[in-house]
Amino acid sequence: FHDALTCLPNQIVVKDRLIQASAHADRSGSKIGVFFLDLDNFKAINDSLGHPVGDALLKEVAARLTHAVRAADTVSRQGGDEFLIMLTDIHDVDGIAGVAEKLLDQLSAPFQIEGHELSTSVSIGIAIYPDDSRDFANLLKQADTALYAAKGAGRNAYRFFTAQMNEAASEYQQMRVGLQHALVHGEFALFYQ
């Protein structure tokens, strides 16, 4: 039920806690914020300094994330350089943006890892229960969609999920399929001007 490297809860635990928190949210009229986080350019650190340094960085990131939220909130490692945070008992959606800014700030400070000073940033996608969905899998998907919008905005940013993001993702997927189809069927023509 916990990640071996960071000792953070895994997705099974987060899902269980969301089910419990959603029952409370329904009774109290509160909301739950689901944050999907991805470290920016983590692969470059792993590739240049090795996996032991990358693993040590992930442990430090986990500690900073845990320190940045309340004890009642859940920080989870999803795998690789992806983390999930669940904020419970939220009454003010503007407060969620404040937490996202705090997380960006916490992770912008340099890390001292095995004699190396490392800088990284994080991109964050946010979905809100029950506004965006009442289903755990959909909330994760929507937070992930918002994460890629944050990365597309230049990284080191956060974005809240919107329905327009799904439309853009669908259009992008249709474009990819259409281009692949056109390549397979020789539907491109080259003109020189």
Report in angstroms the alpha-carbon separations of 61 from 4, 111, 122, 185. 15, 9, 10, 47
Strand partners, 158: 124
The total of other beta-carbon atoms located within 10 Å of residue 6's CB is: 21
Neighbour order of strands in the sheet with 121-129: 74-79, 82-90, 31-40, 121-129, 158-160
Peptide bond into 130 cis (omega under 30): yes
Distance CA 133, CA 123 (A): 21
Judge whether 81 counts as a catalytic residue: yes
Q: Please pick, among 3, 38, 81, 144, the residue that the annotation labels catalytic.
A: 81
Does residue 130 contact residue 25 with C-beta atoms inside 8 Å? yes
**181: Cβ–Cβ under 8 A, 6 or more apart, which residues?**
187
Alpha-helix runs per DSSP H in 69-92? none
DSSP-derived 3-state class of residue 55: helix
DSSP-derived 3-state class of residue 75: strand
Active site residues: 81
